[in-house]
Amino acid sequence: MKILIANAFSLSMLDRETQRNRAYDAVYDNPRIPRPIDSPAEWLAEWDQVGVEVGSVVGHADTAAVFSAVLGRPVAVNRVSVQLDHDVLLLIGQYIGPRLPEGATTLPEGARIEWWIV
């Protein structure tokens, strides 16, 4: 199993035929149903304890820096296309707030991140 930290989600990350198959567990397997998560750092720490690989597909340096601060772990910039396999979970940080200032490493006043697992 693997977890990818991301700053966006697109339907192109999913396999259409796999999504049609309803024999899978809807939470941890396909079909993918986004669900909110309130404590992403603790959730990741639990997976760390069992040796699950955690990677990044965050495409912007400032967003990666802010995610690193919020999650308390390094989040690398890694601008790649993603196709989710059945054994990959996506932890998405949805930034909500004013445009991040250049070089940001913390959340600006009034901003927040909503975390989702897909």
User: Cβ distance 56 to 76 under 8 Å?
Assistant: yes
Tell me the pLDDT of the chain (118 aa) as tens digits: 999 999 999 888 887 776 666 555 555 554 577 899 999 999 999 999 999 999 999 999 999 999 999 999 999 999 999 988 888 999 999 999 998 888 888 898 999 999 999 9
For 47, the enclosing helix (H) or strand (E) is: helix 40-49
2-117 adopts what CATH topology?
Rossmann fold (3.40.50)
Question: What CA–CA distances, in Å, run from 108 to 15, 75, 91, 95?
Answer: 36, 19, 22, 11
pTM of the model: 0.85
Sorted by where each begins, the domain ranges of the chain are 2-117
Tell me how far apart the alpha carbons of residues 73 and 84 are, in angstroms, rounded to a whole number: 23
